[in-house]
Amino acid sequence: MAPSEPDLEPPPWWGTVSLDVETGGRWAVGPSTLWLYRTDREWRIIHRWSSPPEAPDPLADRSEVTVPLPEDELADVLDTEDEETLHTNRYSFGETEPHISLQPALADRPVVSRPEHPLYVPPDESVTLYLSTALWIRIVLPDSDRKLQEIPSFRMSDTWFGATTTDGEFCYATRTAGWLRLDRLPRRLHRAVTPLRIRNTAPDPLALERVQLPVQHLALYTTPTHQLWTQGVTMTRSAAQEGADIQVRSGPPADADEAELLQERRESAKRGLFTSTFSAVGTLFAS
């Protein structure tokens, strides 16, 4: 018996494809599955977060592209009456363009990460955590540079992060392992990794129960192996503040070898960034 082939790394799900009229494709991105279908006058986008009755796994490592899709599978998706798990949007045109592009993008508001286990940073110490956050799938017509839709690869909970119910901002909530060692970091093509350096200059230990990551102010980078990274972020807590000052480092992080810019940041920071709190002092309302 011939030796088995070694497992190959999954190819990236993003990029531009061309579809003929009356044809479609399927994209598996983490826990999500996406179908695109083109007619002469319409682009149809069909999306599912997981295969029922399974709950979506935010860490599911899937990155597959099937273009063109076999006619029988395409017909099953187009003719389905399952409106609970399949979500369809239709975009009409005088004449459709043949090319369509899928692009990774960071979330459109901050992500509050809750480590699986509490972590304490002693006074006058610093630590670097590698946090991963779910990406959005941006669907664009590249010939005319028109965006059709953005879909989260994983539907995170909504949450409020702040010291009071009026002092804070609307965010997404997620759990994270908060890796301390780069060599333990798993490769997942539907998530982006942020190196977060936390400096505690206060005289008491800092309990990292929750961390607010301003991903809408971060650019997205890719390495030659298609690992996705953001800029590095430094949060400094001092004795005079209950929260922390945030510094976003320019360019790709030092941990990402040969990384190149993939997406610019969504929003420019008009002033110095500040997170109101790391811990349970903030109010959390998760739906």
- What digits encode the pLDDT tens for the residues 91-141? 999 999 999 999 999 999 999 988 777 788 999 999 999 998 999 999 999
Highest mean pLDDT among 95-104, 196-205, 232-241, 263-272: 95-104
For residue 244, give Cα distances in angstroms to 104, 138, 202, 241, 273: 29, 32, 11, 7, 9
Residue 114: count of CB within 10 angstroms of its CB: 18
Residue 273, pLDDT > 60, answer no
CA 266 to CA 146: how far, in whole Å?
16
Find the helix or strand (DSSP H, E) in which 200 lies: strand 191-200
Mean pLDDT of 174-181: 81
CA 168 to CA 274: how far, in whole Å?
11
Nearest residue to 126 (alpha-carbon basis) of 192, 205, 184:
205
Predicted model pTM: 0.85
Q: Is 217 helix (H, G, I), strand (E, B) or coil?
A: helix
pLDDT confidence of residue 4:
42
Q: Are 150 and 138 within 8 A, CB to CB?
A: yes
Residue 185, pLDDT > 90, answer no
Residue 258, pLDDT > 70, answer yes
Residue with more model confidence, 155 or 90: 90
Q: Are 149 and 32 within 8 A, CB to CB?
A: no
pLDDT confidence of residue 107:
95
Length of the chain: 287
How does DSSP classify residue 55? Answer: P
Sequence-separated contacts (24+) of 245-252 with Cβ below 8 Å:
245/272, 245/273, 245/274, 246/214, 246/272, 246/273, 246/274, 246/275, 247/273, 248/214, 248/217, 248/218, 248/273, 252/221
Q: Are 58 and 134 within 8 A, CB to CB?
A: yes
CA 275 to CA 88: how far, in whole Å?
37
Handedness of CA 181, 193, 287, 83 (dihedral sign): negative
Nearest residue to 207 (alpha-carbon basis) of 284, 276, 277, 131:
277
Mean pLDDT of the chain: 85
Residue 279, pLDDT > 50, answer no
Residue in the block written with tokens 């494809």: 17
CA 184 to CA 193: how far, in whole Å?
13
CA–centroid distance for 103 within its chain: 11
Mean pLDDT of 23-33: 94
Tokens of 101: 């592009």
How does DSSP classify residue 205? Answer: -
Residue 57, pLDDT > 80, answer no
Q: Are 97 and 40 within 8 A, CB to CB?
A: no
Q: Are 197 and 126 within 8 A, CB to CB?
A: yes
Mean pLDDT of 260-264: 95
In the chain, what are the domain boundaries? Answer: 15-103, 108-134+156-275
